[in-house]
Chain A
Amino acid sequence: MHLAVYLPLLLPALLTLLARPLSDRLHPLHATWLLTGAAAVLAASATLALALLAVSAVIRLPAVASLGHISLAELGPDTAYAMPAGLLAGILVTAAAVTGSASLLRCFRGLADSYREARRLPGRSQAVVLDDQIAAAYALPGRPGRIVVTAGMLDALDDTSRAALLAHERAHLARFHHLFTSAARLAAAANPLLRPAARAVEYTVERWADEEAAKAVGDRRLVAHAIGRAALAATPRRPPRRAMPAVLGAVFAGRADAHAAGPIPRRVEALLAPVPPRRLALLTVVLALALLAGVCALEAANDFQDLLALASSY
């Protein structure tokens, strides 16, 4: 149990680096499936690997070994770092279990909230217009899912932009985008290295819905303009700003400059550029890496089981 158990721990770090480029370069449908799937497999295999490291350290404790009738001689010589590594792994896997189940709970509560709100919204039509001057629009998953648009948002858009907005929200509901984002968030809760992947999935489902909207209205540039208008309408007028200490202001300004563009300009830019091509090679490589992590974790688990069977038969 050497490389096989450590590889699943390293590969999530690779996805951390790849998440953003993948979300820009792949078609959003592919990117969403790939990033969600890879995050789920990597979270599961990294957690399994940590659990194996922890358990293999625990059974080497003489007290535990004698209790479980395990022959320490048969388990073989231990590497010098196995005990501290096992302890660390034990802490990490416990933390993963706690944050993972908390996230699962929040996810279910969030879904329940959404279903309830979707049921409570007035009327029977899919889209509901709320009489509010704040410009906002969202999709509420439910049975059936509903689309909420405020009057303020409708006022800010012309007819074709409204059609684009509705097509975007319908795509979210029809393609169950909330399941992808929830799964990715869950994976990120169990393994913080996967947070960039989860953020990337949130972005790629928006891109996916944008592309679906473009198909529905037959014009990608039109969708780009609809997003732009809607985002500007949703952003309050700026000038009367709260006085911020000059130093703090400079720090924030510097940080904003250092970061790349936020999701809305990126979405608009992507729609103004040609449709992303199918990059099957890239897709395959990342998929293979994720599967490699899964296979390694299972292989390590298998080895460990064999070793344990051998050691406890004495």
Chain B
Amino acid sequence: MGAPNPAWQPGESGRAGRGGRSGDEPPRRGPGELAAAVLQVLWDTGRALSPAEVQAALVARHGEASRLSYSTVVTILSRLHAKKALVRRRAGRAFRYSPAADEAGLAARRLAAMLDREPDRDAVLSRFVAELSERDEQLLRSLLRDSGPEAS
């Protein structure tokens, strides 16, 4: 994880991977960059934060010019929670959020989101195997069975 791009503008909400399809957010800045910035804050703090604290930490880090609205921060946090990148517990009226996984776990999710996003992106990411259809699974099992015991 490098430092998140400080040039992002207020009003954009994080669109980490797909699934963040609700609302009318302009998909200008790289999807997921805001989400990554929020996650970075939570990692670096090392304790559960409320949305307001996340908002303040983002301003402290990226400057007043890039202030996000409270509701944008809440949206990003709840999406990250829905994607199981964050865990949350209720504290009073708001939730407090903390990272669910270590950096490597998040990298895996980020990559998975990247793979899912657009068909053309797959052009640069060669997967060793993809999920099998039911028919392919049967075909594969019979091929492997017929070719005898494993060579190893």
Contact = CB atoms under 8 A, between A and B. Distances in A.
Contacts of A134: 108, 112
Q: Which of A153, A219, A224 has the most CB of B within 10 A?
A: A224
Specify the main secondary structure of chain A where it touches its partner.
helix
Interface string B61-88: 0000000000000000000000000000
Q: Tell me if B's interface is mostly helix, strand, loop or mixed.
A: helix
A78 interface: no
Interface stretch (A21-29, A62-70, A117-125): A117-125
Contact of A168 (B2, B128, B141, B151): B128
Interface string A161-187: 100010011001000011001100100
Interface string B117-132: 0101101111111111
A228 interface: yes
B143 A269 contact: yes
Contact of B126 (A132, A178, A262): A178
B128 A169 contact: yes
A137 B144 contact: no
Contacts of B53: none
A279 to B, nearest CB: 24
B128 A138 contact: yes
Contact of A209 (B108, B126, B144): B126
A222 B30 CA distance: 41
Given A137-B127, A138-B115, A219-B151, A110 B120 contact: yes
A268 B140 contact: yes
Contacts of B141: 232
Given A231-B140, A257-B135, A265-B140, A107 B120 contact: yes
A221 B147 CA distance: 8
Contacts of B135: 256-257, 261-262
Interface string A103-130: 1001101110110110111100000111
B24 interface: no
A244 to B, nearest CB: 12
A109 B132 CA distance: 28
B126 A205 contact: yes
Interface in A246-263: 256-257, 261-263
Contacts of B150: 222, 225
Interface stretch (A42-50, A234-242, A284-292, A299-307): A234-242
Contacts of A111: 124
B22 interface: no
A227 interface: yes
Given A114-B124, A230-B129, A122 B104 contact: yes
Given A265-B143, A268-B144, A130 B137 contact: no
Given A138-B127, A272-B147, A110 B118 contact: yes
A192 B13 CA distance: 35
16 contacts: A130-B107, A132-B104, A134-B112, A136-B108, A138-B128, A159-B152, A181-B126, A182-B124, A222-B151, A227-B129, A232-B137, A232-B140, A234-B129, A262-B139, A264-B130, A265-B140
List of 6 A-B pairs having minimum Cβ-Cβ separation, nearest first: A137-B128, A132-B108, A130-B108, A231-B129, A110-B121, A265-B139
Interface of A: 103, 106-107, 109-111, 113-114, 116-117, 119-122, 128-132, 134, 136-141, 148, 150, 153, 158-161, 165, 168-169, 172, 177-178, 181-182, 185, 205-206, 209, 219, 221-222, 224-225, 227-228, 230-232, 234-236, 238, 256-257, 261-265, 268-269, 272
